Amino acid sequence: MAGVFDNPVFPYFAFYAIVVVLKTISMAFLTVFHRLTKRIYINPEDTRIAGGQGKVATNETIERIRRCHQNDIENVIPFVLIGLLYTASGPSLGSALLHFRIFTGARIFHTIAYLFALPQPSRALSFFVGLLSIMSMAYNVLPATKY
């Protein structure tokens, strides 16, 4: 395992991967916070948390957070997996940092655009910028593979 940590790109990848994973996890806490403060739950047994005062319903704010969280899951997992392969393929530090920073910035902006309902195409553009970063890393890994 020491070989992974000898890779000069790996510590940077680890940092940006942790940032986006923690951002994704924070969306779950944000969902719980809004469920508890609004006393709106998804399952009848959850209303006991509010002493029977809660209700089973949907709420636009909670659903927006959940959709943002789902979108994070759909993008952060590929970033981490492809980013590991990309890191192992020996990219230049400058190129790797550019990919990692673009993806991380795009995901953070995507969350802001989603949660604050910024006008489109802001959210869509940030999604595609992040996706292009992942696709570029994948494309750069291909020459290092044997197919």
Task: Write the CATH number for 53.
Answer: 1.20.120.550
Cα(57)–Cα(137) distance, integer angstroms: 41
pLDDT tier for residue 49 given thresholds of 50, 70 and 90: confident
Judged against a pLDDT cut of 80, whether residue 35 lies above it is answered with yes
Rounded to 5°, the CA angle 31-18-92 comes to 140
| pLDDT score of 4 | 64
What is the mean pLDDT of the segment spanning 114-138? Answer: 97
List pLDDT tens digits, range 5-14.
789 999 999 9
How many Å separate Cα 134 from the centre of its chain? Answer: 12
Number of domains in the chain: 1
Question: Residue 37's domain spans which residues?
Answer: 2-144
Strand-pair category, 40-41 with 55-56: parallel
List pLDDT tens digits, range 81-97.
999 999 999 999 999 99
Cα(66)–Cα(136) distance, integer angstroms: 28
